[in-house]
Structure 1
Amino acid sequence: MRIRTHHDTCIGAGRCFLAAPELFDQSEHDATVVVLAEQLSGARLQKAREAVEDCPTRTSYLSEP
């Protein structure tokens, strides 16, 4: 699985970063999401799912590679 994002819908809430700081960061410029690890499996995939589900705008999502 991969993490993908729609940067135009990100409001910089930071929930993804708080849920999975090893997978997400926030841009210093505008606080929008920055993906740190695109390819996921195992425990990292579960953390990504939790972070994606917690996003208020559903900016990030998981997809097949």
Structure 2
Amino acid sequence: MRVILDQDKCVGSGQCVMTAPEVFDQRDEDGIAVLLTAAPDAGQTDVVREAAALCPALAITVQE
């Protein structure tokens, strides 16, 4: 799995951080999401997919 985060699309809702905090974080200055790892462990697959689905800006892409 590979995760791609388009920070230009991100609106800072924080859904990804609440869903998969091991994979996503937010910048303090503006709340824009930050990708902590582009290749999460296999055990995080479901939460990463959920985070992508919950993103209101569709800023997260998951590639298998």
Scaled by the length of structure 1, what TM-score is found?
0.87
Gapped runs of 5+ residues in structure 1?
Answer: none
CA RMSD of aligned residues (A): 1.2
Q: Which runs of structure 1 show a deviation greater than 4 angstroms over 4 or more consecutive aligned residues?
A: none
What is the aligned partner in structure 2 of residue 54 from structure 1? 54
Deviation digits for residues 9-65 of structure 1, max 9, x if unmatched?
Answer: 11000000000111100011211110111113422111100111010111011124x
Distance 1:17 1:40 in 2: 14
Aligned pairs (5 A) from 1:10-29: 10-29=10-29
Structure 2, unaligned stretches of length 5 or more?
none
Structure (1/2) with the larger helix percentage: 1
Identity of aligned residues (%): 34
